[in-house]
Amino acid sequence: MKFDTSMAFKLLALVGLACVPLAGADFYTELIAKTLVMAIFAMSLDLLVGFTGLVSFGHAAYFGVAAYAVALLSPKYEAASLWYVLPASVGLAALAALVVGIFVLRTKGIYFIMVTLAFAQMFFYVFHDTPLGGGSDGLYLNVKPTAEIAGFMPFDLDNPTHLYYFILAMLVLVYLFLARVLQSPFGRVLVGIKSNEHRMQSLGYVTFRYKLAAFALAGGLGGVAGFLYSVVFGFVTPELMSWHQSGNVLLMVILGGMGNLVGAVAGAFAFVAMQEVFSMWTKHWQLAMGLLIVAAVLFMPGGLSAVPGRIKRALQGGSAND
């Protein structure tokens, strides 16, 4: 890999993030840890929205399935093994996405958006109405999973600093994994589907299978985020699967500019920062958020990441229609 400015920035950002716990402010470390979790979540959705062209409005379902899986698979007052609950919860999220994918990928366009939303809502009700997950009261994860393996304890998730670095490491892993996937032949087919599905079909690809694989993969990676969320907060409720959660992660992806993994991370940070700033400023912060979104769609097609390009063009005095 060539060492260029882009690479340098990525490393710089990573170093910056790695320094956060050194500041010694528990609250902000936890806030940034949460943001990193949302960043992983946003990257997983970007695989669908940004790269494959599937606008899923129900991605929170898989986040929630994994979050619940941790709480349900852990014994009540003992620690579960990380090496068991992590793959199990991620696997369950991917499985849920696979099953839902079989249904929703039969539809396109507006239908797809509505149907993904409706299925997420179904998951919401599974956990909300049945005794399985404690109903609307939610479930507590009393003891965090332990990383102990054969008597050896590489790190301790009960320690906030260890937990923070564990999340950061997961973020880097998910990023590298997605970047690798996108460069593989599989990834190129996905991008091809986005730009012209009919062409891919006439080239002999069974696009349904590729889309289904992408849907399940995105669900599983969303599950990684759900797993981490559950571990950080130790508490899960059906709200995690609500359509507001699905809407918020979609916003993060769009804020950062679709089809750009680093953008998804930046989008998550921008979203959380906006939420914090607006809510400090007024209790009607959602009004500010709403106005901003509407203005962004009307006046700023292309998202945050298109802004630099527009500024650049404006500075160069060029026309803005390229």
Partner 1 sequence: MDFASFLIQTLNSLQYGLLLFLVASGLTLVFGIMGIINLAHGSFYMIGAYLAFVLASLTGNLFAAIALGIPLALLFGAFLEWALFSHLYKRDHLEQVLLTYGLILIFEEVRSLLVGDEVHGVDIPAVFSASIQLSEVLSYPVYRLVISAVCIVLAVALYFVIQRTRLGMMIRAGNHDRVMVEALGININMIYRVVFALGVALAALAGMLAAPISSVFPNMGSHVLIISFVIVVIGGIGSVWGALVAALVIGFADTFGKVLVPELSGMVVYLVMAAVLLWRPEGIFKKG
Partner 2 sequence: MKTTQQFFGKAALALALAATCGALHAQAQPKVKVGLMLPSTGTYASPGTAIGNGFKLFVTEQGGKLGGREVEYFSVDDESDPSKATENANKLIKRDKVDVLVGTVHSGVALAMAKVARENKTLFLVANAGADELTGPLCAPTLFRTSFSAWQPAYAMGKVVADKGHKRVVTLTWKYSFGQQSIEGFKESFEKGGGKIVKEMTLPFPNVEFQPFLTEIAALKPDAVYVFFAGAGAAKFVRDYHAAGLKNTIPLYASGFLTDGTLDAMGEAGKGLQTTLHYADGLPNKKDAAFRLNYAKTYKLQPDVYAMQGYDAAQLYHAGLSAAGGDPAKQAEIIKAMEGAKVDSPRGTFTLSKAHNPVQDIYLREVQGGQNKVVSTLIKGLADPARGCKM
Footprint on this chain of partner 2 (rule: CB under 8 A): 4-6, 9-10, 12-13, 16-17, 20, 23, 25-28, 30-32, 34, 125, 128-129, 135-138, 140, 233-237, 239-240, 256-257, 260, 262-263, 265-266, 269-270, 272-273, 276-277, 279, 283-284, 304-309, 312
CB of 41 to partner 1, least distance (A): 17
Residue 300 and residue 307 in contact, taking contact as beta carbons nearer than 8 Å:
yes
Select the binding partner of residue 71 from partner 2, partner 1, none (C-beta < 5 to 8 A, by kind): none
Q: How far is it, in rounded angstroms, from Cα 7 to Cα 245?
A: 31
Residue 126 within binding range of partner 1, rule CB under 8 A: yes
Output the DSSP codes for 88-156.
Answer: HHHHHHHHHHHHHHHHHTT--HHHHHHHHHHHHHHHHHHHHHSGGGTGGG-EE--SPPB--BTTB-S--
Residue 54 vs 147, nearer CB to partner 1: 54
Stretch that binds partner 1, among 100-108, 148-156, 214-222, 260-268 (CB under 8 A): 100-108
How many residues belong to the site for partner 1 (CB under 8 A)?
Answer: 44
The DSSP bridge partners found for residue 149 are: 152
Instruction: Say which residues have a Cβ less than 8 Å from residue 51's Cβ, sequence separation at least 6.
Output: 182, 187, 190, 191, 194, 214, 259
Q: Which of residues 286-305 bind partner 1 (CB under 8 A)?
A: 286-287, 289-294, 296-298, 301
DSSP label at 76?
Answer: S
Select the binding partner of residue 251 from partner 2, partner 1, none (C-beta < 5 to 8 A, by kind): partner 1
Q: How far is it, in rounded angstroms, from Cα 116 to Cα 192?
A: 22
Residue 9 vs 125, nearer CB to partner 1: 125
Stretch that binds partner 1, among 67-75, 188-196, 202-210, 242-250 (CB under 8 A): 242-250
String marking each residue 249-288 x if it binds partner 1 according to CB under 8 A? -xx--x---x-------------------------x-xx-
Residue 132 and residue 126 in contact, taking contact as beta carbons nearer than 8 Å:
yes
Q: Which two tokens stand for residue 165?
A: 């670095």
Select the binding partner of residue 262 from partner 2, partner 1, none (C-beta < 5 to 8 A, by kind): partner 2
Q: How far is it, in rounded angstroms, from Cα 133 to Cα 68?
A: 7
Tell me how far CA of residue 158 lies from CA of 50, 107, 138, 143, 162, in angstroms: 35, 44, 21, 8, 8
Residue 74 vs 207, nearer CB to partner 2: 74
Q: How far is it, in rounded angstroms, from Cα 127 to Cα 124?
A: 6
Burial 268-304 (b: 16+ CB within 10 A, else e): bbbbbebeeebeeeeeebeeebeeeeeebeeeeeebb
Select the binding partner of residue 301 from partner 2, partner 1, none (C-beta < 5 to 8 A, by kind): partner 1
Select the binding partner of residue 237 from partner 2, partner 1, none (C-beta < 5 to 8 A, by kind): partner 2
Residue 121 within binding range of partner 1, rule CB under 8 A: yes
Select the binding partner of residue 55 from partner 2, partner 1, none (C-beta < 5 to 8 A, by kind): partner 1
Helix axes 60-73, 82-104, angle to 10 degrees: 150
- If you count them, how many residues does the chain have? 322
Which residues in this chain contact partner 1 in the complex, by CB under 8 A?
49, 55, 57, 103-104, 106-107, 109-111, 113-115, 117-119, 121-122, 124-126, 128-131, 243, 247, 250-251, 254, 258, 284, 286-287, 289-294, 296-298, 301
